[in-house]
Chains A and B, each alone.
Chain A
Amino acid sequence: MNPIKMKKTVLICASLLLISSPTFAEKMAMPADMPASYEAECASCHMAYPPALLSQQSWKNVMSGLSKHFATDASVDPKTQTELTNWLVKNATTRQKYSETAPENRITKTSWFIRKHDEVKSEVWKRASIKSPSNCGACHIDAAKGVFSEKNIKIPVK
């Protein structure tokens, strides 16, 4: 192989690696040290979102406004609030891609979320078994395990 061809091959391989790396990013396993309070206080009303879906600043914003949490009162006692905030901030995303401060503290309003779901029609979001873009597990069948890859999607028909 001549040097120019070789250079080209290396370049192609490198770009392929770059292209395939997002697939790797769709796995966001729940950290093993999840406090029991995360399940009890947060996941009673919605899925236990992996902390890596938001940035440190976004989690701080969420946790400082729990008494008015998306039109509901999700307040917790001060000890639990400190425990949860520390854990969420410690495990917040470290990836540039997810690092923006979420508008209205909503994962579903981040530009990466909107871009990833731009092919989903508004009629689909309204289906009874989906109800809301925050209901990840309705379509991402392994969302509870932190798996959001394209292979693990099944969009319900109703």
Chain B
Amino acid sequence: MLLKLLSGFVLMGMAHVVSAVTPQDLLKPYEAQSGKANSARGEQFFNTKHGKEWSCASCHENPPNHDTKHIVTGKVIKPLAPSANPARFTDEVKAEKWFKRNCNDVLGRDCTTQEKADVLSWLMTIK
């Protein structure tokens, strides 16, 4: 019984290690489903409005390497660039959730995997 419990904990620990990802790990499948990421295109996408009121930069600013404020509520948003905030893009579910929400806010639709790849690759270049 004890052995069973112990091996359970070890397995859980391993699962946790496996699920921890890097921004690079997230970028790869996006690229695989679309094409090679283009960070210049990502930068332009990030800083441009797409037919609605806001751009990504409305809340995250350009470059998003410092604390910024939500354009409506004033709530402080932590930096988006992984160089300034190592927790960013290390959790696939979380990254996907925010792409869904924020792409709807900025574009009124889901982002394509190419758009996600481009933006993420640009964010990864920011110092």
Contacts and interface: CB of A to CB of B under 8 A. Distances in A.
Contact of B74 (A72, A77, A132): A132
B73 A46 contact: yes
Nearest to B75: A46
Contacts of A75: 100-101
Interface residues of A, number: 21
Given A72-B105, A73-B105, A46 B100 contact: no
Interface in B40-83: 69-70, 72-75, 77
Contacts of A134: 72-73
Contact of A74 (B69, B75, B101): B101
Contacts of B77: 44
The majority secondary structure among interface residues of chain A is loop
B104 interface: yes
A75 B96 CA distance: 12
Interface of B: 69-70, 72-75, 77, 97, 100-102, 104-105
Query: Which 8 pairs across A and B sit closest by C-beta, in order of nearness?
Result: A73-B104, A131-B74, A46-B73, A135-B74, A73-B101, A72-B105, A46-B75, A134-B73
